[in-house]
Amino acid sequence: MGVTDVFYYTLHIRELKSIIQWKTWHNPVHERDPKTETVSLRICFDFLDKTSRSFSAVIQELHPELLVPVALFYLILRGLDTIEDDMTIPLEKKEPLLKEFYKITEKEGWSFSGNGPDERDRELLVQFHYVTEEYRKIKPVYREIINDVAEQMGNGMAEYCRRSAEGRSGVESVKDYDMYCYYVAGLVGNGLTRLFVESGLANPALKERKQLQTSMGLFLQKTNIIRDVKEDWDDKRRFWPREIWSKYVDDFGDLFKPEKKEAALNCTSEMVLNSLNHADECLFYLAGLREQSAFNFAAVPQGMAIATLALVFRNPQIYKKNIKITKGEACQIMLDSTQNLQKVCEVFRKFVRQIHRKNTPKDPNFLKISVACGKVEQFIESIFPSQDPEALQRAAETGMPVAKKEDPRVVREREEAKWDAIYMLIAVMGTITVITIIMLGVAWMMGARWDVAFNELRKGGVNRPGRDSARTIVEKYDRGEL
């Protein structure tokens, strides 16, 4: 932790508290045991850590029945994505690779070294034989699900790569945008749901709710596409649909110009609106997960997504750099999202209200965003009513207004949070004081002349002395000990 971080968390005690709580008090539902694994499987988990630390953490806490299948599922799709993203691979080589990748997973000893030297996850494909070795060991029913998703995703990616190579923009309409997000993320939601249901960790009814499965993936993907707009533009890629951005600027690059700031913010609003329309379906989906580790696995990314959506909404910084929620906010979201559906709903309510507060009548999407925020709150209210039904009945009988009774648990948590913040501030200030005393003590032992400093301060000599003044001070206090 650098000096900047120390200063930041001194001013944001609650975030520091969240980090400490997550690091010290979080107990995984299930823990992976590397000692029972083969060498090749441990290598697979090493690649999981390297390719995505955030997903790796939640995957490694999954139920043992799905731990390895989901880890390999992620690595296979990451390998597919690494081929699709690499602009150094010619289309005639890339297209058949993408379309046939689902068959490659069954081939013993297969690896690929054709990625460019700067491709971030190149090494995963170079050593992909470790993935295929472990993949052939999992249950056939899980392999069938993963192969089906990989086949559909590979075909979708190949189609968009061909469009791009032929000079056609891959994402023209909102329909194109939804289809692209479906291929790269919605299919993942479908595959994971089938794995959850097959293993008995989710309600079988979820398997029939394709729209809910798809929304889980689209909500994450669309939020990431909004957040990464500057990074993608620097890489000469564009995923925002022309149907949306062309309402605000003539050329996509105009969004990054300072003089187009207001138009860019309005464009961001419509992109956020498009993503926000999936939020209530994500909560509906989470209600169908029976097992805690599966719930945590699905809920944590959704909590991060709604927080990121609130961060990017009408935020001009997304056109200047890639922005992310702070580590303290992320830890608090993980703490809340690994408890139960009601806590996750509270996370969604909190950030939806942030979006609503940032919404402005100047925005052409003002009313639609207000409705979308209200839709999420209405869904949450329908499953976790904030009013006591008995109080409502009494109010109807007496004609008196309902006095909203605050949840005692919320009051208690707020009081505890206040005192935790006070104690944390005392601890931080105490630490700074101790460090200061130690530094002064070391300086004194090394021969620092505090009497000189105090005398000069009394005389008002707080400015840096010139060369002649410094020599005068040295001659005045030098007693010739050295």
Catalytic residues: 180, 227, 237, 297
- How many Cβ atoms are within 10 Å of 138's Cβ, its own excluded? 16
The owner of tokens 């390719």 is: 51
Burial bucket for residue 350 (CB in 10 Å: 0-12, 13-18, 19+): middle
DSSP state, 183? I
> At how many degrees (to 10) do helices 261-276 and 341-358 cross?
150
Contacts of 369 (CB under 8 A, 6+ apart): 269, 272, 273, 276, 355, 356, 359, 363
DSSP state, 463? S
- How many Cβ atoms are within 10 Å of 246's Cβ, its own excluded? 14
The answer to whether 217 and 189 have CB atoms below 8 angstroms apart is yes
> Which amino acid type is present at position 91?
L
Q: Is 120 helix (H, G, I), strand (E, B) or coil?
A: coil
Distance CA 18, CA 9 (A): 11
Distance CA 271, CA 245 (A): 9
Cα torsion through 199, 201, 204, 208, rounded to 10? -90
Q: How far is CA 178 from the centre of its chain?
A: 20
Backbone angles phi, psi at 418, to 5 degrees: -60, -50
Q: Which of 261, 285, 262 is nearest to 211 (CA)?
A: 285
